[in-house]
Structure 1
Amino acid sequence: MSFSIEGKTAIVTGAANGVGLAIARHFAQKGANVMFADLDEGRLAKEVGDTRDDDTMRYFAGDLRERLTLANLLSATLDAFDRVDILVNGSRQMMPTDPLDPEDDSIEALLDQNLITAFRLSQMVAKRMIKQAEGQDEGQAGAIINLSSIAARRTHPSLLGYSVSCAALDQMTRSLAVALAAQRIRVNALAFGSVMSASLKDTLKTHREYRGDIEEHTPLGRIAAPDELAEAVQFLASDSARFLTGQIMTIDGGRTLLDPVAAPAH
């Protein structure tokens, strides 16, 4: 199977670096039209480059936690490509939580970034997908893929807020999958373990000992490359997964087969 997404149009959020960037680049290489979306305009411009001679890639910069920004992102995508077939909610944030500090607002911040933003954009994009599919009696109307984490099930004590936001995102995935099934929109999530994302690179710079801990607690004995996730997301977005919805696909090198709660959950 080719898992083809050629000719499809995708919005990928969190596309300025790390996993989101790897997915957006991979989609473009596989023949999709891609809107790279993120807050960091400078990084987006650097990564996407001059698009005047390329009709398949565009970028959009803005604070995706704002409703108007999300609406403008969808409008920019439609202006550039006329439609949207795939949404990858890859805009994620990780920060520590102090469970005993009443002034710690990390849970609210992480729910806003990792859950609410994805939910609002999914609503907007789903409405567009439904409109595009009017008059069609078969075939998928669209695919939504959420980037989650094994932290939803295996957590480090200091990542309470992150774990809660990922668990909520997993349940949102299941609920939206049921709600949108009649409209032939599939919704799935990719829960990953240790991947060499931008945040993990930064963490390893100051905590070099984490690499050994991660590898020790991962049966396959290594940290994944972002491109390995991109290939899995391509499958979830393609017609090859046309009977797959509401699933949380785990890519973690076997990490969740073990049970060390105190191991870093990056």
Structure 2
Amino acid sequence: MSFSIDGKTAIVTGAANGVGLAIAKHFANNGANVMLADMDEVRLAKECEKGDEEKIKFFAGDLREKLTLANLLSATLDAYDRVDILVNGSRQMLPTDPLDLEDDTLDKLLDQNLMTAYRMSQLVARRMIKQAEGQTEGQVGAIVNLSSIAARRTHPELLAYSVSCAALDQMTRSMAVTLAPNRIRVNALAFGSVMSTSLKDTLKEHRDYRSDIENHTPLGRIAPPRDLAEAVQFLSSDGSGFMTGQIMTVDGGRTLLDPVAAPAH
């Protein structure tokens, strides 16, 4: 069974930096056509200048807006005429005060981390179904949602983030069942202990967190984003052709210990 994504077309959201950017670059290096999507147009343009302009293109806009998502899909079809893989990597982590009646973090993160992925999945799935008309066998498409081990852990200061990730996991399962008859697979990758942009920023402010994370991770290290990119490639390829509705964990064994007091990054 092959893990190849050569010749496939992928949309990767949240691709201006960190994990999303690592996935987009990894896909391009492995032969895929990639549309990078994010808000940061300057950063996207800079990153795309470094790659093959035929294999890597970008789209900038507020992905929380329905029209922006529709335009992203249209731009991808204009460039490559199809879409085979969607990686929903647009995500945000914000602290929450559970007792503050004015705290709207939960609304914000449900919109950013859940609804953006849900709406984009709807649009892309409809396109995948259309472009597969007449195709009677084989994978029609793959959707991979980036989640977090925070969905299974209890950290009141990250209530909104944890809830949004848990909701994304359940959306993954539900969409997987819905789209299975169309041979579109939907899986999620829950990660922790990966050097994301948010973790880099956190470690700058709290240097002691690094040792905390490493001490609570059986493999004893924080993984580079490329470790996640390779797992996403697996979920996108025919090599995982009988997997759908699964939440695959990449965390160096962190959740096997699951200490409540350890920071959830």
Pairwise same-fold verdict (TM > 0.5): yes
2-structure distance, mates of 1:99, 1:221 = 32
1-structure distance, mates of 2:67, 2:211 = 44
Aligned AA for 1:7? G
- How far does the alpha carbon of each residue in 1:148-183 deviate from its partner, in whole angstroms, 9 at most, with x for none? 000000132200000000000000000000000000
Comparing 3-12 with 250-259, greater Cα deviation is found at 250-259
Aligned AA for 2:238? D
Aligned AA for 1:191? A
Contact in 2 for aligned 1:133/1:141 (Cα 8 Å): yes
Q: CA RMSD in A?
A: 1.0
Q: Tell me how many residue pairs correspond in the alignment.
A: 265
Runs of at least 5 residues in structure 1 that lack an aligned partner in the other structure: none
Aligned AA for 1:43? R
TM-score under structure 2 length normalisation: 0.98
Matches within 5 A, 1:221-260: 221-260=220-259
Matches within 5 A, 1:32-71: 32-49=32-49, 54-71=53-70
Contact in 2 for aligned 1:78/1:84 (Cα 8 Å): yes
2-structure distance, mates of 1:167, 1:224 = 22
- How far does the alpha carbon of each residue in 1:223-245 deviate from its partner, in whole angstroms, 9 at most, with x for none? 01100000000000001111100
Residue equivalent to 2:200: 201
- How far does the alpha carbon of each residue in 1:31-70 deviate from its partner, in whole angstroms, 9 at most, with x for none? 000000000001101111177x621110000000000000
Cα deviation for residue 194 of structure 1 reads: 1.4
Secondary structure, in 3 states, of the residue corresponding to 1:250? strand
2-structure distance, mates of 1:154, 1:215 = 17
Contact in 2 for aligned 1:157/1:262 (Cα 8 Å): no
2-structure distance, mates of 1:27, 1:208 = 32
Q: Summarize the Cα distance change of 1:84–1:104 in structure 2 as closer, same or farther, 3 Å threshold.
A: same
Moved over 3 A (4+): none
Residue equivalent to 1:28: 28
Residue equivalent to 2:164: 165
Contact in 1 for aligned 2:76/2:82 (Cα 8 Å): yes
Secondary structure, in 3 states, of the residue corresponding to 1:43? helix
2-structure distance, mates of 1:91, 1:181 = 24
Residue equivalent to 1:129: 128
1-structure distance, mates of 2:200, 2:8 = 32
Contact in 1 for aligned 2:2/2:238 (Cα 8 Å): no
Contact in 2 for aligned 1:149/1:191 (Cα 8 Å): yes
Percent identity over paired residues: 80
Secondary structure, in 3 states, of the residue corresponding to 1:188? strand
Cα deviation for residue 2 of structure 1 reads: 4.2
Residue equivalent to 2:143: 144
TM-score under structure 1 length normalisation: 0.98
